[in-house]
């Protein structure tokens, strides 16, 4: 289980061990290949640190799920930020949506 904690200097830290079967691919795509780490300065308010921790954890777990989905040939899940960017793109370019539906 991953938890947000404060280190001896008051900084907020969290670590998530990566599953053995996706480490190599995760490392190639995102950098770390043993564990994902979060570090926030101690000046961050507790509530904000908790919110950022939950976003970070959801992001890491979505990355892991996407790697597994790609390996077994399923679709991939969008992270919240990716979904927002996709919606924003189609709001800015409505002619693409209309052209796509006409095909």
**pLDDT, tens digit, 9 for 90 and up, residues 9-47:** 999 999 999 999 999 999 999 988 899 999 999 999 999
| Cα distance between residue 52 and residue 4, in whole Å | 10
Q: Is residue 93 a part of any domain in this protein?
A: no
DSSP code string of 21-38 = GGHHHHHHHHS-SSEEEE
pTM reported for the whole predicted model = 0.70
Region at 42 (left for phi over 0; alpha for psi -120 to 50; beta for the rest) = alpha
Q: What percent of the chain has pLDDT over 90?
A: 53
Domain count across the chain: 1
CA neighbours within 13 Å on the CB side: how many for 63? 24
Residue 98 in domain = no
pLDDT of residue 103: 47
Asked if the structure places residue 72 within a domain, the reply is: yes
CA distance 61 to 79: 10
């Amino acid at each position: 289980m991953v938890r947000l904690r404060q280190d001896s200097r008051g900084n907020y830290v969290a670590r998530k061990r990566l599953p053995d079967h996706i480490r190599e691919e995760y490392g190639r795509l995102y950098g770390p290949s043993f564990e994902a780490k979060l570090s926030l300065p101690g000046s961050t308010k507790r509530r904000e640190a908790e919110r950022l921790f939950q976003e970070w954890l959801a992001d890491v777990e979505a990355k892991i799920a996407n790697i597994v989905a790609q390996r077994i040939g399923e679709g991939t899940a969008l992270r919240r930020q990716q979904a927002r960017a996709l919606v924003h793109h189609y709001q800015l370019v409505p002619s693409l949506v209309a052209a796509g539906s006409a095909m």
